[in-house]
């Protein structure tokens, strides 16, 4: 038996049949004692997912990356901004390295292929509820090679944009969903100083909002989850 505690789960997928299949799989897990999963909400769009996350604070969100309304990467970013403290496990039909890397950068705790759901999901849940990262074995090595390459690219991009070390720190806390007051406390500076750094960051990234800054930073490889 993995855990005797119930794990509250929100399912986010715009295909009702897929969500129903997950419920059947969860019933199997609950029956054999693998998990005690309680689905407390279902969503088919980004806005529904964010609303349920705010209202229910589930321990686990299972998220598809392609939604009819909204997309999974932006959903991950907005969950960070609202300081969601649970885990997000991506369930996706995409197996390309780029999709996996962007999802993990945006804050996913794990990534499961829909085509291999029965084989991967149990291990994935076991891993992420222990606050560890889950990736399918066949893509893990490629992911870390990409991570290393992007780290070098990140350094070059930071130099090109002339981001200071302090601006990079502010950007880091911004992607964690921290408010200006919280960033100030983390960095031992005033709120006015944080606002000045944000103004500079927005100008250098050519954006006008916090969400745009985070999305741009992820696209440029400036931050990792």
Residues 104, 161 within the same domain: no
Residue 112 lies in a domain: yes
Residues in a beta bridge with 60: 9, 87
Residues 167, 187 within the same domain: yes
Q: How many domains does the chain have?
A: 2
Domain CATH code at residue 191: 1.10.10.10
Domain CATH code at residue 88: 3.40.50.2300
Q: What is the mean pLDDT of residues 102-116?
A: 90
Return the number of other C-beta atoms located less than 10 Å from residue 5's C-beta.
10
Q: How many CA atoms lie within 13 A of 185 on its CB side?
A: 5
- Of 135, 170, 198, at which residue does a domain stop? 135
Residues 156, 101 within the same domain: no
- Of 104, 135, 166, at which residue does a domain stop? 135
Question: Cα–Cα distance between 171 and 32 in angstroms, integer?
Answer: 45
Residue 196 lies in a domain: yes
Residues 185, 79 within the same domain: no
The confidence score (pLDDT) of residue 213 equals: 87
Q: For residue range 10-20, what is the model confidence (pLDDT) as tens digits?
A: 999 999 999 99
Residue 224 lies in a domain: no
The confidence score (pLDDT) of residue 4 equals: 55
Residues 187, 166 within the same domain: yes
Question: Cα–Cα distance between 64 and 69 in angstroms, integer?
Answer: 12
Considering only CA atoms, which of 117, 106, 121 is closest in space to residue 7? 121
219 pLDDT above the threshold of 80: no
Q: List, as one string, the DSSP characters of 108-129.
A: -SEEEEGGGHHHHHHHHHHHHT
Residues in a beta bridge with 134: 110
CB neighbour list of residue 70: distance below 8 Å, 6 or more residues apart: 45, 46, 47, 49
Residues 28, 121 within the same domain: yes
Mean pLDDT, the chain, whole residue set: 86
Residues 20, 117 within the same domain: yes
Which is more confident, 91 or 222? 91
Residue 80 lies in a domain: yes
Residues 164, 215 within the same domain: yes
Q: For residue range 31-72, what is the model confidence (pLDDT) as tens digits?
A: 887 678 999 999 999 999 999 999 999 999 999 999 888 889
Residues 157, 115 within the same domain: no
* Domain range enclosing 31: 6-135
The confidence score (pLDDT) of residue 176 equals: 78
CA 122 vs CA 4, 30, 117: distances in Å:
15, 11, 9
CB neighbour list of residue 152: distance below 8 Å, 6 or more residues apart: none
| Whole-structure pTM value | 0.66
Largest CA distance in the chain: 56
Residues 94, 200 within the same domain: no
Residues 123, 12 within the same domain: yes
- Of 108, 135, 162, at which residue does a domain stop? 135
């Amino acid at each position: 038996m993995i855990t005797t505690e119930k794990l509250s789960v929100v399912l986010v997928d715009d295909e009702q049949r897929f969500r129903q299949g997950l419920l059947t799989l969860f019933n199997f897990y609950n029956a054999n004692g693998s998990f005690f999963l309680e689905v407390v909400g279902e969503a088919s769009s980004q806005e529904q997912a964010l609303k349920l996350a705010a209202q229910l604070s589930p321990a686990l969100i299972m998220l598809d990356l392609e939604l009819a309304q909204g997309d999974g990467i932006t959903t991950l970013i907005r969950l960070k901004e609202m300081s969601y403290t649970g885990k997000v496990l991506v369930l996706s039909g995409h197996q390309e390295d780029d999709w996996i890397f962007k999802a993990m950068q945006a804050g996913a705790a794990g990534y499961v292929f829909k085509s291999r759901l029965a084989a991967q999901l149990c291990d994935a849940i076991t891993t992420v509820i222990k606050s560890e990262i889950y990736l399918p074995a066949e893509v893990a090595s490629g992911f870390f090679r990409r991570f290393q390459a992007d780290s070098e690219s990140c350094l070059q991009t930071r130099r090109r944009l002339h981001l200071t070390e302090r601006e990079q720190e502010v950007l880091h806390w911004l992607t964690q969903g921290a408010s200006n007051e919280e960033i100030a406390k983390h960095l031992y500076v005033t709120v006015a100083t944080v606002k000045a750094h944000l103004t500079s960051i927005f100008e250098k990234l050519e954006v006008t909002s916090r969400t745009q800054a985070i999305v741009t930073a992820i696209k440029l490889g400036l931050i990792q989850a």
